[in-house]
Amino acid sequence: MKEEALQKARQLDEQDQLSKFRSEFHFPQKNGKDCIYLCGNSLGLQPKRTSEFVNEELQKWQKWGVEGHFTGDKPWVSYHQNAKPYLSKIVGAHEHEVVAMNNLTTNLHLALASFYRPSGIRSKILIEKGAFPSDFYAVHSRIKVSGYDPEQNLIELEPSDGSDYLSTEEIIMTIEELGDELALVMFPGIQYYTGQLFNIKKITEVAHKVGAFAGFDLAHAAGNVPLSLHKDHADFAVWCTYKYLNSGPGGVGGLFIHEKHGRNTEMPRLSGWWGHDAEARFKMANQINPIPTVDGWQLSNVNILSHASHLASLSVFEEAGMENLRAKSLRLTDFMEELILNSEVLNNQIKILTPSNHEERGAQLSIYLTNHGKSVFEYLIERGVILDWREPNVIRVAPVPLYNSFTDAVNFVKILEEAISNEG
């Protein structure tokens, strides 16, 4: 790796207005040094303020016991309300359209119960081939419990030309071809394997045009790229918070329901106590009166410690701003891509699966090792670079703008070159 690249990286880091947020996070250590952490697409780092937020609730529990539900600035009975202002900005929605609750797959099942209602020939769900298992298992089982055959009604779309990712045009064409047989289109915001950013607005438009609902799994998109779910008229979306949103392993999930559906209290749903009239909740009258917002899909009371961890991370996002994070993410990912493509060592040894157009990707480069195997990944891990491996022969690299630097990118590529060179 040339010295000029390192000098350029240091200059970019000095100019980076978001560089101060790096000190907000705990980094894993290896050999007495901070690791180069490029795995935020699997599990984000812990914000240093997380312990403060969680300990505040532990102290409340210790001091007040059950009275903590109604005590202090953030009473537990309404704790989920605290995240709404932050989440609405991150996913581009009104506060009454977003809620943190459950986990991703639970929220997906709840959404599918409302938005997959097959009738007659309109019974098919369109997803991508090789969808993340969270999506595949949920839609497969939803079709089955609805009395339909997944073999006939689950349509898995893959690129017809053998390319690495689906074009928007091919998705649109497929939706139009399925037409009135299509009940639901469900795609990720960002494809987990390739890192492709899908066009939510266009997919939603054409789905609605043929009379289908459009839902999205934002596990790899929330906190990664700016979103505009309300304006794009998505019907629903789900996400986890432990990746780019840095809310802790197995952290609370998120749900978006467009207000046009939230207002419809007659919409079929799997109901829970917490989704009904909050004012009458403790009268224990068991009357069906759903809250006319996304909160009407809630099941039960809040997991306070998980929400506190989530709230800590959201406060960091509020300070940084999604538009600022996206601007740095584009620069940082482009810089890393440039280093890789200009490397004489890596030139014929790897292929980047992620779209080259940076408007079609988030903070991820998926690197396919054309002539090498997992030993390259293991070399990186041993040298203190934390990222993840996907079969076959793919290393997913996520330069996260909140805590990664341009110098991280240079050091990573240098160690990757060493790993490739050592294998001949």
Residue ranges of domains in the chain: 3-34+322-422, 53-318
> Which residues have CB under 8 Å from 258's CB, separation 6+?
97, 229, 230, 233, 234, 235, 236
> Under CATH, to which class is 53-318 assigned?
alpha beta
Residue type at 199 in one-letter notation: N
The residues facing 349 across adjacent strands are none
CA 71 to CA 368: how far, in whole Å?
Answer: 53
User: In the predicted model, what is the mean pLDDT of residues 360-369?
Assistant: 96
Q: Check if the beta carbon of residue 47 is closer than 8 Å to that of residue 24.
A: yes
pLDDT digits (tens, 9 = 90+) for 103-147: 999 999 999 999 999 999 999 999 999 999 999 999 999 999 999
CA 273 to CA 43: how far, in whole Å?
Answer: 31
CA 93 to CA 96: how far, in whole Å?
Answer: 8
Q: What pLDDT, on a 0 to 100 scale, did the predictor assign at position 372?
A: 78
Q: Which of 178-182, 381-385, 389-393 has the lowest mean pLDDT?
A: 389-393
Above 70 in pLDDT, residue 74? yes
Confidence of residue 365 (pLDDT cuts 50, 70, 90): very high
CA 214 to CA 204: how far, in whole Å?
Answer: 5
DSSP 112-141: HHHH---BTTB-EEEEETT--HHHHHHHHH
* CATH code for residues 3-34+322-422: 3.90.1150.10
Above 80 in pLDDT, residue 424? no
Determine the 3-state secondary structure of 225 from DSSP.
coil
Q: Check if the beta carbon of residue 323 is closer than 8 Å to that of residue 256.
A: no
More confident: 278 or 171: 171
CA 31 to CA 124: how far, in whole Å?
Answer: 53
DSSP 319-339: HH-HHHHHHHHHHHHHHHHHH
> Which residues have CB under 8 Å from 243's CB, separation 6+?
40, 41, 42, 43, 44, 219, 220, 222, 223, 224
Nearest Cα neighbor of 302 from 91, 10, 69, 95 is 69
